[in-house]
Chains A and B, each alone.
Chain A
Amino acid sequence: MLRYTSRRVLQMIPVLLGTTLLIYAMVFAMPGDPVAALFGEKPINENVADQIRAEYNLDEPFIIQYLLFVKGLFVGDFGITFTGQPVIDVITRVFPTTIKLASMALVFEMVFGIIIGVIAGIRQGKLFDSTVLMLSLVIIAIPTFVLGFVGQFVFGIELGWFPATARDASFISLLMPALVLAGVSLAYVIRLTRTSIVENLTADHVRTARAKGLSEGRVTTVHVLRNSLIPVVTFLGADLGTLMGGAIVTENIFAVDGVGSALYDAILRSEGTTVVSIVTLLVIVYILANLLVDLLYAVLDPRIRYA
């Protein structure tokens, strides 16, 4: 297990180098001169522009820029934004908020997704099951921004149950955004859990469990539930990465000062270093989440052993 884990962690190095290089190249290739854009309507002062270029290494060839950036990463220097703020400050400001938001969304998915999915699976074909299936399809079909605006308007403005925006990133104000963020994945978790339960209910070993004289409750909890949760756990783990990086739309709707907003702004300003720094961290989160899923997989399923 230890060997497997360390091998997986070491695998992160080439993955990180690859992704950062790719993203750096994409930002570099974006049309327009970011320095020129900084002058806005005013005429460009070439001296000042050159000075800015030198400061941000923008006068160097692409590969040198990239290597300088990577060198900075190793000493914990993420560079500075065009407004003179160190990128590390931006990161420490926005990441906690997004982690909070994503965790809340993940908890929603786990709690509601699994409970509703299990009930629907056990009551296969009954009214509850059909209703849930239909509703989950509706949620999957509605784009996040529609869900977000409707939620904001109805519960935040008309009914006033929740704050309409979440600038302060408090627990209460993040409830609505977290629910919207969880929305589509929640529907998937419900469907996945339900299918998995239905499949396991007809498994041979479940029939054998009944034949042993076990009560229906015990059959469900001991022999159906645990077996059914394995694919769900896999999905949830992979989804954590999506929740972290995919909050751009939701964060914008509810004015959450999180990773998504920061990334969006940085892309608009063509701030290579900021974009790549944030994405690098997201990649790390994604890889770690996947590693966690794989390890959890081995805990849930004794047939899987990592050497």
Chain B
Amino acid sequence: MSGYANQATFEPVAAETAPLLQISDLEVGFKTQNGMVPAVRGANLTVYPGQTVAIVGESGSGKSTLAHSIINLLPANGRVLGGSILFRGEEVTEFSKRRMAAVRGSSIGLVPQDPMSNLNPLWRVGYQIKETLQANNIAKGKAADIRVRELLAEAGLPDADERARQFPHEFSGGMLQRSLIAMGLAARPELLVADEPTSALDVTVQHQILNHLDSLTSELGVAVLLITHDLGLAAERAEHLAVMYKGRIVESGAALEILQDPQHPYTKRLVHSAPSLASRRLESAHERSQIAEREAASREVLAETESRDNVLVAENLTKAFPIRGGFGQKSTDFKAVDDVSFALQRGTTMALVGESGSGKSTVAQMALRLLRPTSGRVLFDGEDIAPLAGRDLLGLRRKVQPIFQNPYGTLDPMYSIYRTIEEPLRTHGIGNGKQRRQKIKDLLEKVAMPASTVNRYPNELSGGQRQRIAIARALALDPEVVVCDEAVSALDVLVQDQILNLLNDLQGEFGLSYLFISHDLAVVRQIADEVLVMRNGKLVEAATTDEVFDNPKQDYTRDLLESIPGGNIPLASTG
């Protein structure tokens, strides 16, 4: 029956229509060794035809589980334990497997979270979309091939003919997500479940894709259930918002109302810590300036030889990677970083902003001397770091420490927390056993972790806790410069807020200098004193944070700023 329904033309939503999707008192749990673990607890949600509803929550809040239970795509150990899901008035939880398969795709479409892993790498993109058309009896054979190209073009992919014949690995993340949108809408469903459809993408691409999704769904009259962790994005895209916390929907209502007048304490915290354009440099800035002044004063007394206070300087940094040519062709160079210069002042934070592929991480690696520049120099305290070797190099490593993006991947799972933090101390031969133990205790205290953590292992800690450990490890050697490569990108907004505050306080306390690499301008505004904008390996704009945000010089910077989701929505005035 669903095969017919999707061919009907859509009429504008009348005021008194029946709900398309009605979830009431839904309970979903996961079977584990310790019994049933609840993931969704008594959730209620209604979506009307043509409406866009967003579910906002942090990772583990149960928002994806809720979305997947609608089309019965829960993992093998997931079960709907109670409540009901009515789709067009029919109880979905009682559908047979065959009935469910008939509803999927044709009546309820899905745009999944991670575009990189959601297409089968072994089949051509066109074929995978064609499958959807065939499975839902939309078109067959030649007609289906033509329709695939139309759908790809509709999703905003130029050269649809050629694209359909390519494999997923030949696509960029944005193109993959466009294909997945084409797939989700291929059979013209009445409801599209979009599960974090753009979280894995760059902010400008995210903006384009969401715009496109918006216009497509409103054109086709498709209702959208948007799952996201980004409050700003949700408020910008949806009329109706539901905030999920620990499996419950704690607040729901009109998007703007919730944003401007949150009722539930959790929503309040979420709104408060959401980084947006409105937010300013974090507090304790004056504290830092005091330290800087004091330092400057003492330095003046000590020595006048070193007039400038730049701790890390990059001069015309260039990094080229050779690309192997085809048969008989010479290899060509790809310039990942092209003539980049900057100077990081002691005790301040310099942010390096850009999309993926802009070369910002390559700069970080050269600053850490993990990569050798093709040309140009990196100076630490006025000294070129390139010729350093042996003991001198060890000395540099001690003063320049990294914090990387993925706290799950950067801690050795076989090392206890104690061993993780002790390793740099041991490598550099600092202190005896007793002193090290004391030092580790102090470090854990600084990053607000209990001393008992030393006996635990990374897999027993949450993402935020792990990043705290990574920070403690980086600070173990009392470095002067910390290179943070997307250090908070993998974290939930509340945790992100905590870590940013921690980094900021530590800067105030120790006069640390940060080279802060991020794609997230909203975060950058909170932490940075100066901002460098990179694009395709080149530096396009360099100025103080306020200048960049209030008065961007380059179109590209303006694009980046405008792409911040929810940037223009006035938030509740938070203290």
A residues at B contact (CB < 8 Å): 3, 202-216, 218, 222-223, 226-227, 300-303, 307
Shortest beta-carbon distance from A301 to chain B in Å: 6
CB-defined contacts of A213 to chain B, threshold 8 Å: 101-106, 132, 135-136, 187
Partner of A211, one of B105, B114, B120: B105
Q: A213-B135, A223-B120, A227-B120 are in contact. Are A207 and B112 (CB under 8 A)?
A: yes
Shortest beta-carbon distance from A85 to chain B in Å: 48
B residues at A contact (CB < 8 Å): 71, 73, 75-76, 97, 101-106, 109-110, 112-114, 117-123, 128, 131-132, 135-136, 167, 169, 180, 183-184, 186-187, 324, 326-327
Shortest beta-carbon distance from B64 to chain A in Å: 11
CB-defined contacts of A204 to chain B, threshold 8 Å: 112-114, 117-118
CB-defined contacts of A203 to chain B, threshold 8 Å: 117
Partner of A209, one of B103, B106, B109, B120: B120
Shortest beta-carbon distance from B178 to chain A in Å: 14
Shortest beta-carbon distance from A249 to chain B in Å: 39
Partner of B117, one of A3, A205, A211, A222: A205
The answer to whether A208 and B123 have CB atoms under 8 Å apart is no
Q: A211-B71, A213-B187, A307-B324 are in contact. Are A302 and B101 (CB under 8 A)?
A: no
In the complex formed, the residue of A with least CB distance to B129 is A212
Cα distance A218–B112 in the bound complex, in angstroms:
20
Partner of A212, one of B113, B117, B132: B132
Shortest beta-carbon distance from B19 to chain A in Å: 22
Query: Inter-chain contact count A-B, CB under 8 Å?
Result: 89
The answer to whether A226 and B122 have CB atoms under 8 Å apart is yes
Shortest beta-carbon distance from B511 to chain A in Å: 45
**Listed A/B pairs (11) with beta-carbon separation below 8 Å:** A209-B120, A210-B101, A211-B110, A211-B184, A212-B104, A212-B183, A215-B101, A222-B131, A223-B120, A300-B122, A301-B122
Cα distance A206–B110 in the bound complex, in angstroms:
13
The answer to whether B122 and A307 have CB atoms under 8 Å apart is no
The answer to whether B104 and A208 have CB atoms under 8 Å apart is no
Cα distance A266–B240 in the bound complex, in angstroms:
83
Instruction: Please give 13 more A-B residue pairs, beta carbons under 8 A apart, in addition to A209-B120, A227-B122.
Output: A204-B114, A205-B117, A205-B118, A205-B121, A208-B118, A209-B131, A210-B101, A213-B102, A213-B132, A213-B136, A213-B187, A215-B101, A223-B120
The answer to whether A307 and B327 have CB atoms under 8 Å apart is yes
The answer to whether A303 and B169 have CB atoms under 8 Å apart is yes
CB-defined contacts of A216 to chain B, threshold 8 Å: 97, 101
In the complex formed, the residue of A with least CB distance to B116 is A204
Cα distance A218–B75 in the bound complex, in angstroms:
19
Cα distance A204–B114 in the bound complex, in angstroms:
8
CB-defined contacts of A209 to chain B, threshold 8 Å: 120, 128, 131
The answer to whether A215 and B73 have CB atoms under 8 Å apart is no
Q: A227-B122, A307-B326 are in contact. Are A215 and B135 (CB under 8 A)?
A: yes
Cα distance A209–B183 in the bound complex, in angstroms:
10
CB-defined contacts of A205 to chain B, threshold 8 Å: 117-121
